[in-house]
Amino acid sequence: MKRNKLTKVLLVAGLPLLLIAWNKKPHKKVPPDVPVTYYKLKNGLKVVLSPDKTSPTIGVGVYYNIGFRIEPKNRTGFAHLFEHMMFQGSQNLGKMEFIQLVQKNGGILNGSTRFDFTNYWFHRTAHKVPLLWRFHRVHHSDASMDASTNFRGHPIESIFWFGTSNIVTAAVFGLDLMSLGLFFLVATPFFFFEHANFRFPKWLDKTVGLVFTTPNLHKVHHEQDQYYTDSNFSDIFILWDKIFGTYKIQTCRTNKIWFKRI
């Protein structure tokens, strides 16, 4: 009896709440009020202005309605070509002065592959110069390869050779510390990924491996046979090896990771 009375009390008390919840109108999401004004200058430049006075800062973004997405079929690559021609200078700015002008005014060059390109040549040189190879072959001394192989290296080489490559790149091309930081942010996962001891599907090499360095491609670089060791030097973009003729492929089943007497 007591249980039935308690059930009736709860039903009577909960009924008004159910009615309130049933009659309550759903809350409409109000989109944020973002003021936007469009202008068009006499030279055809379109300007989009959106003032926000919550912070005393100004953000400027420049977008060009050009690129591979709108290039006609069989005529792609011109936008990329003109981009590199721009860096070579013009009547108003000399070579690399455009990049320096952007950086002096607070801009950031965040689309450069020069660090990876320089690392390719430093890595390749470490295999060809006997004195440098004496240090670098420590990295090739693992009997089996996994992500920890990335840490195996002679300290002299790590500090005075590969450490110098980034300084040289920044000095020659006028790149700032932000660009260097972005490079390491992208490159560090690749260092571990390319040494990883996982079994990857074949389609990875046939798709991703067309542009990027995959573990199977980097295992070729750690092969006992010097013919294969002197190949696939790239860290991020395997394209450098394909362009400069050091790209080699090998079936992973026949791949023998280093441990020879050195």
Residue 145: name the closest of 214, 223, 40 by CA.
223
Phi, psi angle pair for 38, to nearest 5°: -110, 135
Q: Are residues 165 and 232 in the same domain?
A: yes
Q: Are residues 134 and 229 in the same domain?
A: yes
For residues 132 and 11, give the distance between their C-alpha atoms in angstroms, rounded to a whole number. Answer: 84
DSSP, res 38: E
Q: Are residues 210 and 131 in the same domain?
A: yes
**Which residues span the domain enclosing 153?**
114-254
- CA distances to 48, 118, 124, 182, 207 from 110, rounded to whole Å, are 23, 16, 25, 7, 25
For residues 181 and 221, give the distance between their C-alpha atoms in angstroms, rounded to a whole number. Answer: 26
For residues 118 and 120, give the distance between their C-alpha atoms in angstroms, rounded to a whole number. Answer: 5
Which range is least confidently modeled, 11-20, 141-150, 208-217? 11-20
* Number of helices (H), then strands (E), in the chain: 12, 2
Q: Are residues 208 and 166 in the same domain?
A: yes
Give domain status of residue 18, yes or no: no
**Those residues with Cβ within 8 angstroms of residue 47's Cβ, 6 or more apart along the chain or in another chain:** 38, 39, 40, 41
pLDDT digits (tens, 9 = 90+) for 85-125: 777 778 888 877 877 777 777 766 655 667 788 888 889 98
Place of tokens 């040289």: 168
Tokens of 65: 């309605």
Q: Are residues 84 and 128 in the same domain?
A: no
pLDDT digits (tens, 9 = 90+) for 24-81: 555 667 777 778 899 998 888 888 988 888 888 888 777 777 666 677 777 767 776 7
Q: Are residues 78 and 178 in the same domain?
A: no
pTM: 0.56
Looking at 44, 76, 107, which one is the last position of a domain? Answer: 107
> Which element (helix H / strand E) includes 29?
none
